[in-house]
Amino acid sequence: MQRNIYIAYALWFFLGGFGAHRIYCGKFFSGILQLLLFWIGSITAVFLVGYFFLAIWGIWWLVDIFLTSKMVYEVNDLKGFEKSLNQTQRLKNVEKLYELYKNGAISKEEFEQRKAEILK
């Protein structure tokens, strides 16, 4: 599934405290880390030490303005690459099947049936 840059930025803006934009882009560890920084900072702000955590989270959240589009493009490129590899493997399987048909190991009907299964 392709990731949408507008959704990623909406998640960044509205749910940045939860690290939702990073989780949406497949960066689970850093998304959970952002979530923890925000909530630990919010809970411990009463003791003043929480402002340190919130400052780190706030800087990171602002830097993500520039990083979010890169994360979306990277995950989409990776998904496209995986899809092309899958299609290449299917074509190789059809070629192997055709070799079996050409050598007489399988009938034309069996070749067509197996080819249809591979290309589903």
- Residue 72, pLDDT score: 94
- pLDDT reported for residue 87: 82
What DSSP string runs through 68-116?
A: HHHHHHHHHHHHHHHHHHHHHHHHHHHHHHHHHHHTTSS-HHHHHHHHH
pLDDT along the chain (120 residues), means of 10: 92 93 94 95 92 95 95 89 82 86 88 85
pLDDT (0 to 100) of residue 88 = 84
Nearest to 114 by CA among 81, 103, 101: 101
Residue-level pLDDT at 38: 94
pLDDT, position 27: 94
Which pLDDT value is given to residue 95?
Answer: 87
**How much is the pLDDT for 84?**
81
Closest CA to 22 of 14, 13, 31: 31
Q: What is the pTM of this model?
A: 0.70
